[in-house]
Amino acid sequence: MASKTPLPRLGLRSRDKESQKHPGKPDQPRARRTTEEVQAEKAEKVRAQGEREEMRAQNIQWAAELETRMEVQMKDKLNTAHHPPPSTLTKVLRPRTKVPIASETANDNEIEYPEEAAVKDPVSSGSDDFYTPDKGTEVVESEDDEDILDESGEEDAGGKKLSNPHKASPFQKTGLQNGKLLQPKKSYPAASAEETKEDKQCRPPTSPPDSDVDREGGIADDAGERSERKNLSGKAVKSMLQRHYYGGSSKAGETGIHSLARIVPTTSVATFINPNASSQVAQARRKKGDIRLTHLPVRLQTDFTDKFTPRLFELFGTLNAWEQPKESDLSKLWKSVFPNEQNLNLTTSEGTVILKLVEDRLSQWRKKFGERALEALEEITFNDLPKNDSAHREWWCTWALSGSDDSCQPFYYAAYEEPDPDIEGSQLKIKGVFQSPLIAAILGIHVAWLSLIEEERRSEKKPIGALVHSIQAAKRAISWWQTGDVVKPKKPLNEYSKANWGDHVETREGRQIHIKSTSDLTTIVSKVKDKQWEKILAVARASGKRKKKAVVVVSDTQEPSQAALAELRDDDSDLADED
């Protein structure tokens, strides 16, 4: 007998289908696509994506246009709702005969019978149709019950004598239907007059005392009233509705419609917002970064740009560098430019807008110094070199910052001649402090803004802050090109801001060092004499006639110096008389 021992599994690897078909053929690598095919496929994907984006944008535009049209139509419908245009047709009323309203007897208890049938009064004791009512049925009593049912049972004044006073009882009726009687199933013995009176006093009323179901056109909830309205003719119903809506007139044009709606003013509600204050509420909810010049009143926008902004730049130039203007200074300036407007109040919504616009103008004003410094360095200084290449630019930038401290840097002066080592007794010759072509070109943008102000309205204060900004911007631009080629630091170090160029504290090797790059330079500039200011402004005025496009600026950090204690040196012969 053969053994049933399973065969051992061999470690054979499965081969792919292609190899199994042709075991003697080696596997060949799949052919690769060419670069042109790959680029063409990518270009096709980009084109298809662009078409999808364009179609999506077109669909959004169509949807927006459709929504706009629907909104306009909806507004037109709301404006013309319940106010249709007058018809051009001439309508003529046809003569109609006046149809009386469905007649109704003065007393519902009076029942009319045909003349040929003599029917006795059902209330009379001699009537054959009289039955004593059940206790559970509703009884409508007659107005003459007191006269008919008396104690003696004698003849009533002006009436006939009752043949059987014990059978006298009011007849029954349902609802307001006239003449319809209900025959009770059982009869009861007649009661005395006294019992009848007591029974009348204990009966519940047939209708609420405040209801008026008998009024013509009234509406009640009982079945009798509905059946009564159902029996009215169409003309009677129309006449009833005309009297109800038009005050009793049969013509709708004689009197106006009396509407039940009443409009109550909501000005006394605690949550009511005056329309005049709605704009202030909207401005209060507006984000500060979204404020623009258009948020000012229209009457102020033009003068704010043409008159108030140049005066703002003048104020910024007289302040210390990187210093914010005070509220009192802004209020005085606002009153001088807008004398007919209210005093500036920065806590109001309009004052918030003005303060944001002032901050924006201050930021733009400071940014212009850094932009102009880079332009002037390339257009003026580098073009004056013997050769405008990397080596000459590196040599000049290194020489421009070779001064011992901030009180004496070569790029400050219009003429700076170092002593010649080959000549004995040669000395340093400098002339025209802060009148170099670079500083004059930077300060010129500020002087150009001042030319927009009337001469009699210009301030007599010296633009110390503007000159400090010009010096710092020039120093930063030179340090950017100090390697001969422009080197742009990363943000935020490349920004011309107070964090990079104002007084700040740095921690170096575990020690805090106060960097007084602005305060020391402000002290140096404050020592400039009046005649020097005249020359500085004159040179800047001549160089500030052109403006260029803004460019990115670079930042720099310097070690603190003691230059504030040094004296400014200027060998200009014109200044000797002033000393």
pLDDT of amino acid 543 = 84
Indicate whether 252 pLDDT > 50.
no
pLDDT of amino acid 320 = 92
Question: What letter does residue 424 receive in the DSSP assignment?
Answer: T
Question: Tokens 């108030």 appear where?
Answer: 308
Tell me what the pLDDT averaged over the chain comes to.
Answer: 74
Question: What letter does residue 192 receive in the DSSP assignment?
Answer: -
What CA–CA distance (Å, rounded) separates 557 from 495? Answer: 12
pLDDT digits (tens, 9 = 90+) for 435-491: 999 999 999 999 999 999 998 899 999 999 999 999 999 999 999 999 999 998 888
- Count Cβ atoms within 10 A of the Cβ of residue 243 and give its class: 0-12 exposed, 13-18 middle, 19 or more buried: middle
47, two tokens: 């084109």
504-508 vs 511-515, strand pairing mode: antiparallel
pLDDT digits (tens, 9 = 90+) for 17-76: 555 555 666 666 767 788 899 999 999 999 999 999 999 999 999 999 999 999 998 888
Mean pLDDT for 393-403 is: 91
Interior CA angle at 238 toward 236 and 244, to 5°?
105
551, two tokens: 């460019």
pTM (predicted TM-score): 0.49
Highest mean pLDDT of the ranges 197-206, 270-279, 530-539, 546-555: 530-539
Q: Coil, strand or helix: which one is 85? A: coil
pLDDT of amino acid 571 = 67
pLDDT of amino acid 489 = 87
pLDDT of amino acid 504 = 84
What CA–CA distance (Å, rounded) separates 104 from 243? Answer: 17
CA nearest neighbour of 467 among 427, 535, 522, 534 = 522
CA nearest neighbour of 502 among 343, 372, 319 = 319
Sorted by sequence, the CB contacts under 8 Å of residue 166 that are 6+ apart come out as 125, 153, 190, 191, 192
Interior CA angle at 577 toward 471 and 539, to 5°?
35
Highest mean pLDDT of the ranges 77-86, 403-412, 545-554: 403-412
Query: Do residues 133 and 183 touch, judged by C-beta distance below 8 A?
Result: no
pLDDT of amino acid 267 = 67
pLDDT digits (tens, 9 = 90+) for 487-532: 988 888 889 988 888 888 888 888 888 888 899 999 999 999 999 9
How many Cβ atoms are within 10 Å of 282's Cβ, its own excluded? 11
Indicate whether 218 pLDDT > 80.
no
Question: What letter does residue 485 receive in the DSSP assignment?
Answer: S
CA nearest neighbour of 397 among 374, 367, 421, 365 = 374
Query: Do residues 462 and 535 touch, judged by C-beta distance below 8 A?
Result: no
Indicate whether 108 pLDDT > 80.
no
Q: Coil, strand or helix: which one is 434? A: coil
Q: What is the largest CA-CA distance in the chain?
A: 169
3-state secondary structure 246-266: CCCCCCCCCCCCCCCCCCCCC
Indicate whether 240 pLDDT > 90.
no
Q: Which long-range contacts (CB under 8 A, 24 or more apart) does 413-422 make?
A: 413/570, 414/539
213, two tokens: 């179901």
Q: pLDDT band at 304, cuts 50/70/90?
A: very high
